[in-house]
């Protein structure tokens, strides 16, 4: 007998993120107490307040703007290639494919300045704790990276299934924003994204820049060459290359968009304007992640050994 459709409908009609919010709040309180008792980590009430404000704004903006994306997704699903039913196997497949899409969305959010303007908010804290997970963008729709997920609907995954899997992905990522947890068991670190892996992602150390984009499965980074392990002798420094120096949520939300507008207005050619908007972050100043990493590698490379002295002929 097949699985009862009503059970899946009941499950997919729920919002897993909304259900998880009390757990988020309780976890933050527990982590805060642990840090105050001497566990590794750091909290600043001003920074945490900004993160909570960003999370609230993200919820409001998402509710206001989600309709346009839903409409486009529904249109694509109506022209779908396959009729994918809702079942345990399609749920597992959707969760896997959705996480792969997230990897590329996240990678684009770091490599394209237009998308970075929406994503940089999440990296703007110089602290790393569970409240940082709630520091989310107010302008995610304008970053346009949602386009990467649209093929899932064209393939035939139902909208409610994709939304549910995306919610679970978001919930998973909450717990990896902490310094309280060190390394997980080796087998877990090999496959899954962990606090250790994600601390690297939030690090501004040249070694760590633009690494570990994974949502749930770290295997994507290992497969596509963007993995970097956390080193005990090099703790991550958190924030962005040029930290904001303010806890004003409005400026946190829009500062990079303002920067793009200024750089485009100053551009003296169409090429420069396009680089300012759609090139890698830091392209105009020469401070891209690749450039900073290359400079660091050149400065830390061991000196070349002198060539052996020539032996005189007898």
Res. 10 pLDDT band, cuts 50 70 90: confident
In contact, 90 and 8? CB cutoff 8 Å = no
**pLDDT band at 305; cut points 50, 70, 90:** low
Tell me the CA distances in angstroms from 95 to 19, 129, 167, one per residue in order: 19, 26, 10
Q: Check residue 312 and give its pLDDT.
A: 56
Report how far residue 60's alpha carbon sits from residue 209's, in angstroms, rounded to the nearest whole number. 31
For residues 296 and 289, what is the distance between their CA atoms, to the nearest angstrom?
11
Average pLDDT over residues 85-95: 96
pLDDT tens sequence across 215-260: 999 999 999 999 999 999 999 999 999 999 999 999 999 999 999 9
286: its two tokens: 């020469």
pLDDT > 70? residue 273: yes
The pTM of the full predicted model, rounded to 2 decimals, is 0.92
| Cβ atoms of 123 and 202 closer than 8 Å | yes
Interval 276-300: pLDDT, tens = 999 999 999 999 999 999 999 998 8
Cα four-point dihedral sign 57, 94, 144, 228: positive
Express as a percent the part of the chain with pLDDT over 90: 86
Q: Is 282 left (phi over 0), alpha (psi -120 to 50) or beta?
A: left
In the block, tokens 């290639």 appear at 81
Q: What is the mean pLDDT of the chain?
A: 93
> Tokens standing for 117?
């303007």
């Amino acid at each position: 007998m097949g699985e009862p459709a009503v059970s899946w409908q009941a499950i997919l009609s729920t919002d897993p993120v909304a259900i998880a919010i009390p757990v988020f709040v309780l976890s933050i309180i527990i982590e805060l107490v642990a840090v105050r008792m001497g566990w590794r980590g750091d909290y600043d009430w001003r920074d945490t307040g900004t993160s909570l404000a960003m999370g609230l704004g993200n919820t409001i903006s998402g509710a206001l703007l989600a309709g346009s994306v839903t409409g486009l997704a529904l249109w694509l699903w109506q022209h779908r290639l396959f009729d994918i039913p809702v079942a345990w196997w399609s749920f597992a497949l959707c969760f896997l494919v959705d996480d792969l899409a997230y990897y590329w969305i996240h990678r684009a959010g770091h490599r394209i300045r237009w998308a970075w303007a929406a994503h940089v908010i999440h990296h703007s804290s110089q602290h790393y704790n569970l409240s940082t997970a709630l520091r989310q963008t107010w302008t995610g729709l304008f970053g346009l990276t949602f386009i990467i997920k649209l093929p899932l609907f064209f393939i035939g995954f139902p909208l409610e299934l994709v939304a549910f899997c995306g919610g679970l992905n978001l919930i998973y990522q909450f717990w990896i924003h902490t310094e309280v947890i060190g390394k997980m068991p080796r087998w877990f670190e090999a496959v899954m994204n962990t606090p250790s892996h994600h601390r690297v992602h939030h690090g501004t150390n040249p070694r760590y820049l633009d690494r570990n984009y994974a949502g749930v499965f770290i295997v994507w980074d290992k497969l596509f060459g963007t993995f970097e392990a956390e080193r005990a002798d090099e703790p991550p420094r958190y924030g962005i290359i040029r930290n904001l120096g303010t806890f004003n949520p409005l400026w946190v939300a829009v500062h990079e968009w303002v920067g793009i507008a200024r750089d485009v207005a100053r551009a003296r050619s169409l090429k420069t304007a396009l680089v300012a908007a759609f090139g890698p972050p830091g392209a105009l100043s020469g401070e891209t992640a690749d450039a900073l990493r290359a400079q660091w590698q050149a400065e830390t490379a061991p000196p070349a050994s002198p060539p052996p002295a020539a032996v005189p002929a007898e």
